[in-house]
Amino acid sequence: MKVGKIVNLLSGASFDRLQGAIDTSNLRQKVIANNIANADTPNFKRSDVSFESMLEQEMDRNSSSLIGNRTDSRHFYIGPNSGSMVSPQVTTDETTVYNNNLNNVDMDKEMSQLAQNQLKYNALIQQLNHDIKLKRIVLEGR
Amino acid sequence: MNISNSFNISASALTAQRLRMDVVSSNIANAETTRGRYVDGKFEPYRRKMVVMQPYQEKSFANVLQSELGEPDVGRGVKITQIKEDQAPFKQVYNPTHPDADSNGYVSMPNVDVLKEMVDMISATRAYESNVTALNASKSMFMKALEIGK
């Protein structure tokens, strides 16, 4: 096995995507923590992280693009692969008002998003560990 | 590692809510204080105090570096910028035997409404609790991240 192939083991598309998703989850945690911290601040507007919908869009866009025709399974594959990396965006919701002091933090929503984000983060880490375990099996050959 | 940032955000809110709690305590403790301050040769009753909260604006070196590197800018928590006094008029209570009664027998009592303070206190407690929850969530995420590759 060539060295290049071993290096490729750890930099596959799914690995990078997982990393992107974990980073996003991290960022979302910060944004939610900030929303909760400012729940009583007058004129504060809540922020959100958009990533999943953008990634989905990007993947949809890729799936409709050109795919190379292969007459042999050993041919190079041409077509959508990992796609360009989508980076998460922080958006601020300026249009709504939830409170008398022009604040729009809905505590119930923030707390549920916090729980959701935590579960998602744990799931992602578990998935990443699983991937690493599989690769370790490949490397050790047992 | 920039997850410590989310710790700082929650911690700033905990500090702010605790200070708010201190102010509420001071207001309730002084609900009957007729000699709050000595102004122009006579005593003025205690004035109710309120906190002014603002999103934390100051940028640290790390914040500037992050935004220069093109990382999305999230907030940096909350800060109490000042403690203001309530300018509402004092309550006038008829009590001629009180040492601070005026010539008509009325005593100026502090403009503290204990009911309002109680509501504020519960609000501060709940806000504190939700920030503790957020902090614990960050902590458990951080602990989970240490398990990567185990």
Distance in Å, alpha carbon of B90 to nearest chain A alpha carbon: 25
Q: B37-66: per-residue pLDDT in tens?
A: 898 888 899 999 999 999 988 887 877 887
Average the pLDDT over A89-114 and give the result. Answer: 90
DSSP chain B: -TTHHHHHHHHHHHHHHHHHHHHHHHHHHTTT-S-SEEETTEEEPPPPEEEEEEE-----HHHHHHHHTT-------EEEEEEEEP-SPPEEEE-TTSTT--TTSEEEE----HHHHHHHHHHHHHHHHHHHHHHHHHHHHHHHHTTTT-
- Is A127 an 8 Å CB contact of chain B? no
Which residues of chain A neighbour B10 with C-beta distances below 8 Å? 33, 36-37
Question: Which of B150 and B101 is assigned the larger pLDDT?
Answer: B101
**Given an 8 Å threshold on Cβ–Cβ distance, is B54 in contact with A41?**
yes
Has residue B115 got a pLDDT over 90? yes
Q: Which of residues 28-47 of B touch A (CB under 8 A)?
A: none
pLDDT score at B41: 85
Of A32, A115, A122, nearest to B144 by CB-CB distance is A122
pLDDT score at A4: 56
**Given an 8 Å threshold on Cβ–Cβ distance, is B75 in contact with A47?**
yes
pLDDT score at B22: 96
| Confidence band of B126 (pLDDT split at 50, 70, 90) | very high
Q: A5-21: per-residue pLDDT in tens?
A: 555 666 666 777 888 88
Partners of B106 in beta bridges: B94
Average the pLDDT over A65-81 and give the result. Answer: 75
- Is A40 an 8 Å CB contact of chain B? yes
| Confidence band of A85 (pLDDT split at 50, 70, 90) | low
- Is A26 an 8 Å CB contact of chain B? yes
- Complex-level ipTM: 0.80
Among chain B residues, CA nearest to A130? B149
Distance in Å, alpha carbon of B103 to nearest chain A alpha carbon: 42
pLDDT score at A75: 82
Q: A40-57: per-residue pLDDT in tens?
A: 999 999 999 988 888 777
Average pLDDT value for chain A = 83
- Is A24 an 8 Å CB contact of chain B? no
pLDDT score at B150: 77
* Residue among B77, B102, B96 at smallest CA distance from B17: B77
Average the pLDDT over B106-120 and give the result. Answer: 94
pLDDT score at B148: 87
| Confidence band of B2 (pLDDT split at 50, 70, 90) | low
| Percent above pLDDT 90 for chain B | 69
